[in-house]
Each structure stands twice: as C-alpha cells, then as structure tokens.
C-alpha cells in the first residue's frame, strides 16, 4: 500500500482505466479514486473502452469518462478490477505508455500486471481496496465518493447477498450510507431501471435456455438478430447471466452474446467450490473464481459446444455446490 500511495502522490498526470463491458465495481472504483485524486490537485483521465452503461450514468463523475484518448504523457496509470490487462480493451495503448502501472483488484489471477500491485482476494469488491487507498492518501470521502463506492459494493455483492460479503464489506457499506449514499436510490437506478428493449432481450435469452442432462451447467445466448429485433445494445445484457444462474440445481451458468464481428462475448458464473477463472483462461479470458469472462470465435453453436465441453472437463470430479436450505 505504501509504495502505491507514494506513486500516486508523486504523479501529476494520471490515467485510470476500467475493464470492458464495465460493471458497477470497476466504474465506481475508478470514479471514486479519480474524484479523490482530483481533490489532491491531480490531473486525472478516466477511460472505459465501452463507455458508461445507461444504468450507471447517474454515478458522480460519469460524464467525464472517455472511451479513448490520444494522450501519451501520463506519469502513472492505474487499472481497476480488470483481472488481466487485456480486459481494458483499447485503453491499453494509453495505459502502457505510462512509465508506472498500478494494478488494483480483488481478482487474484495469473493475469497479474504492473510494477505495483494492490491485490486482495478477500475483498468483496475492488472498492474496498480503493477506500483504503483514499484514506492512506489523506482523502476524506465525501458524498460523490460514497455513492460510487456503495454502488460498487452493491453490484459486486449482489446487494450484499453473495458469499464474498464479510463484516468489513458491511461496515464499509454502512460508512458510505452514513456519508449520505442512498442504497435504495442506487438499487433503483442499477437493478430496477431497465429499458423496455433490455427486458425483451432478457426474454429472448431465456427462450434459448439449455442445460446439460445432469443440470449442473446451464446456458443461454442472444444473437445479432435478437439485438436488431429490439433495437438493443450490448450494455442491455447486464444482469442476464444472473437470471441464467438462478436455475435451481445449476453449478455453472454461461451467457453468450454475439457481437457484430461474429465473435461471442461470454460471461461465466459459478457456485462454490467451482472456479470458472480456469475455464475462462482456456479462451484467453479472466476474472475471478465465481465470475469470469472470455471471448470466443463463432459460429454460435460451435462456440457453445466448445465452452460447455470445457466446463464439463473442469467440473468432472468436483462436488456439486451445496444445496441451500431453501431448495431442500
């Protein structure tokens, strides 16, 4: 922590980057850190290769996020919540131009990068680490920082429902609420503010739902035709993999979405003790144990078969996830 804080203090021109297909943790963490660094007089550029999803546009500072920059004069680069440098997309060019790179993440994978690494697999969200960085910098979190950090916590813990939640996570959430962040307002914006097209796309995805004979693997997809039918965009698929994962008896959930190039973006989710990071890594992807992503070549049917086969190999001999009492 001390080395990272010293590097942040010494730098004047800083670029922060989030991962592609950004979620609340990568954006909330980036915006919170950016807000704090600017309060210290730093010049900060915020990058998200895929922009800001409409559901996260309310986050303080979101209007300053850029999809790319031609600048190459940064003193320092910070990548947040990426798991692997490849996951920041075109932002790599600007990030790699900086002489020093800090990797801040709660994903501890083989894709580690940067001269300075703040990695903590016990953190439920990257936001927990960012909060510690801000305090170490002497930044007193204000309302904008609190909103960004609480959004990050809510989205990466399933509203404090997932197994990654710890007393530390709950305490941080409580502190952000004390500072004025409203969990109900954030939840309304993120989880209950879907465009009509997004809900139609969810229905189409669930129509495609399939599972293996033993029920341990369940998957769904949307095609370019599906996107066109509802005039929907890729960002509208946020949360679909969670609906797939909700199938009773499933251990691994897969959601594939076809891009205009014909390639397939894949989201993988699992329940303990299954680690989907290793599956994603087979296809050049990354993430963390229970939530990872990768990209496959089409066509769709072949990609699905390849992915399901890889998951089957991975879970062979691995005990099924414990059945919760509600499913008994």
Tens digits of per-residue pLDDT, 127-149? 999 999 999 999 999 999 999 99
Render pLDDT for 248-298 as a digit per residue (tens, 0 to 9): 999 999 999 999 999 999 999 999 889 998 999 899 887 778 888 899 999
Strand pairing class (286-288; 291-296)? antiparallel
Residues 76 and 157 in one domain: yes
What is the per-residue pLDDT for 328?
A: 44
pLDDT given at position 114: 92
319 and 220, same structural domain? yes
- Give the pLDDT confidence score for residue 324 in this predicted structure: 59
Q: Contact, 248 vs 229, CB < 8 A?
A: no
The pLDDT value recorded for residue 19 is: 93
Strand ranges, E, within 207-303: 210-211, 217-222, 252-258, 264-270, 286-288, 291-296
Contacts of residue 158, defined as CB under 8 A and 6 or more positions apart, other chains included, come to 242
User: How many domains, the chain?
Assistant: 2
pLDDT of residue 60: 97
Q: Looking at the structure, tell me whether residues 9 and 42 fall in a common domain.
A: yes
pLDDT at 325: 54
**pTM of the predicted model as reported, rounded to 2 decimal places:** 0.84
pLDDT score at 110: 64
Structural domain for 48, as ranges: 2-191
**CB 150 within 8 Å of CB 176:** yes
Q: Which residues of the chain have pLDDT under 50?
A: 327-328
Which residue among 174, 191, 208 closes a domain?
A: 191
């Amino acid at each position: 922590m001390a080395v990272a804080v010293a590097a942040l203090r010494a730098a004047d021109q800083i670029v922060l980057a989030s991962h592609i297909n950004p979620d609340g943790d990568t954006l909330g963490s980036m915006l919170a850190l950016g807000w704090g660094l600017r309060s210290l007089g730093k010049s900060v550029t915020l990058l998200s290769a895929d922009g800001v999803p409409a559901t996260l546009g309310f986050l303080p500072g979101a209007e300053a996020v850029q999809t790319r920059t031609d600048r190459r004069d940064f003193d320092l680069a910070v990548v947040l919540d990426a798991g692997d440098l490849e996951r920041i997309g075109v932002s790599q060019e600007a990030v790699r131009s900086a002489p020093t790179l800090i990797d801040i993440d709660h994903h501890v994978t083989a894709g580690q990068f940067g001269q300075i690494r703040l990695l903590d697999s016990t953190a439920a969200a990257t936001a927990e680490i960012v909060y510690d960085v801000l305090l170490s910098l002497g930044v007193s979190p204000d309302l904008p920082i609190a909103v960004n950090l609480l959004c990050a916590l809510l989205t990466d813990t399933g509203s404090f429902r997932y197994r990654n939640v710890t007393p530390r996570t709950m305490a941080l959430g409580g502190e952000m609420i004390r500072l004025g962040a409203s969990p109900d307002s954030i939840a309304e914006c993120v989880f209950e503010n879907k465009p009509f097209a997004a809900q139609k796309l969810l229905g189409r995805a669930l129509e495609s739902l399939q599972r293996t004979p033993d029920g341990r693997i369940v998957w769904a997809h949307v095609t370019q035709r599906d996107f066109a039918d509802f005039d929907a965009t890729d960002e509208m698929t946020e949360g679909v993999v969670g609906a797939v994962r909700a199938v009773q008896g499933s251990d691994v959930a897969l959601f594939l979405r076809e891009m205009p190039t014909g390639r397939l973006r894949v989201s993988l989710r699992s329940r303990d003790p299954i680690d989907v990071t290793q599956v994603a890594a087979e296809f050049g992807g990354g993430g963390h144990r229970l939530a990872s992503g990768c990209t496959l070549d089409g066509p769709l049917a072949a990609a699905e078969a390849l992915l399901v086969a890889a998951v089957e190999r991975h879970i062979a001999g691995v005990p099924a996830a414990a059945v919760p009492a509600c499913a008994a």
